[in-house]
Structure 1
Amino acid sequence: MNETYSAFAGFAQTWGLLYFMILFGVVLAYALWPKNRKKFDDAAQIPFRED
């Protein structure tokens, strides 16, 4: 049982890290993509609107 847990934990740590690094890269690229700038600028101004 302990050997199975260690193997699974090693697999999860390695591939989980890779998965989250790729996910972070995709989210970062989406946030910095020039086409999305207006959408994020509009969202940043929501707290300052008076309506």
Structure 2
Amino acid sequence: MHTYSLLREFADSWMLLLLFTVFVSVILWVFRPGARKTHQDTAAIPFRHDDRPASEDRT
């Protein structure tokens, strides 16, 4: 069997399964219980200095 055919067969079967598993794992990680606070904190970053501008001190 040629190298190309072997790699093509691997990519069509096992790599597809691996990438699908990684995709599902990432989706489950994002929607896991307890992640809401982390995502809300991250989403609020642009609004942290809404009440007053950030200080001019950059030390």
TM-score by length of 1: 0.78
Q: Which structure has the larger Rg over C-alpha atoms?
A: 2
Q: CA RMSD in A?
A: 1.6
Structure 1 residue runs without a partner (length 5+): none
Larger relative contact order, structure 1 or 2 (CA cutoff 8 Å, min sep 6):
1
Number of residue pairs aligned between Structure 1 and Structure 2:
50
TM-score by length of 2: 0.70
Structure holding more helix per residue: 1
Give 4+ residue runs of structure 1 displaced > 4 Å after superposition: none
Structure 2 residue runs without a partner (length 5+): 55-59
